[in-house]
């Protein structure tokens, strides 16, 4: 019963975005609140040098703040906790996957990723992505996703991608393989495919241009609002 309630709550939050426009992901559909803050990079005496080490030590509800002065971070991250991962400046806070697979894989629900450039997610098959989402109720906000095999792969529903630039990915900018997701206010350009989607996802106020295919779907039930 609790699981059903959580999914319904997440859905109505996503639906409200479509009706009311943008809401900050730190106050939106995620439940990540009132935790501790861990710091990566910078000059603090207890700061981490690797993002994954901070993730490993974090608890549900924590925030990990990543300074740009130690960028780029050469890592392949696995997020298995409900946390906020926040970069200092998206243009120069870079996570580089070194072409060793997904740059970031999200296995937990209620994760926020904000203010990063994410590059070099590649390993000889298109599901290697800048961000691979294997869960629900997550928010990707204000990121540059570029130079990956697939920019963002969404394997579950009730996720949101907003205010991102998704470009120069070898295969597809965003793959939505499950319904009930939202892409809003993004620029998606110079990929082979801009968006590949299953039915019943929403694309709101996006600029999609310069791709070989703009939006590809096998169904007419792709709820698109431009």
Written in H, E and C, the secondary structure of 8-59 is: HHHHHHHHHHHHHCCCCHHHCCCCCCCCCEEEECCCCCCCECCHHHHHHHCC
What's residue 34's pLDDT? Answer: 74
Per-residue pLDDT reduced to its tens digit, 35-74: 999 999 999 999 999 999 999 999 999 999 999 999 999 9
Three-state DSSP at 72 gives: coil
104: three-class secondary structure by DSSP: strand
Per-residue pLDDT, averaged over 180-193, amounts to 98
Interval 88-116 mean pLDDT: 98
- 8 A C-beta contact, residue 104 and residue 131: yes
Which residues, 6+ apart, have CB-to-CB distance to 111 below 8 Å?
Answer: 30, 32, 79, 81, 82, 83, 84, 85, 135, 138, 139
Average pLDDT over residues 212-218: 89
Task: Tell me the pLDDT band of 225, cut-offs 50, 70 and 90.
Answer: low
> How much is the pLDDT for 10?
55
**Rg for the chain, CA atoms, rounded:** 16
Over pLDDT 70: what percentage of the chain? Answer: 81
In the chain, the domains with their CATH numbers are: 2-225 (2.160.20.10)
Given this model, what pLDDT does residue 220 score? 66
* Cα→Cα distances 56→12, 60, 175, Å: 31, 11, 28
């Amino acid at each position: 019963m609790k699981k059903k309630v959580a999914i319904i709550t997440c859905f109505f939050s996503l639906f409200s975005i479509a009706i009311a426009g943008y809401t900050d992901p730190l106050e939106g559909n995620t439940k990540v609140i009132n935790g501790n803050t861990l710091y990566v990079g910078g000059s603090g005496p207890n700061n981490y040098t690797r993002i994954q080490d901070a993730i490993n030590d974090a608890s549900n509800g924590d925030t990990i703040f990543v300074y740009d002065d130690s960028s780029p971070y050469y890592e392949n991250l696995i997020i298995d906790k409900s946390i906020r991962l926040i970069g200092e400046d998206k243009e120069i806070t870079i996570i580089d996957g070194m072409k060793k697979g997904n740059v970031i894989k999200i296995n937990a629900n209620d994760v926020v990723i904000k203010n990063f450039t994410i590059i070099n997610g590649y390993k000889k098959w298109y599901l290697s992505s800048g961000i691979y989402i294997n869960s629900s109720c997550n928010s990707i906000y204000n990121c540059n996703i570029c130079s990956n095999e697939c920019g963002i792969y969404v394997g579950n529903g009730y996720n949101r991608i907003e205010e991102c630039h998704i470009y120069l990915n070898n295969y597809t900018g965003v793959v939505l393989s499950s319904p009930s997701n939202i892409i809003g206010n993004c620029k998606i350009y110079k990929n082979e495919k801009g968006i590949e989607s299953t039915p019943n996802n929403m694309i709101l106020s996006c600029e999609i241009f310069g791709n070989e295919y703009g939006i590809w779907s096998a169904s007419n039930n792709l709820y698109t609002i431009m």
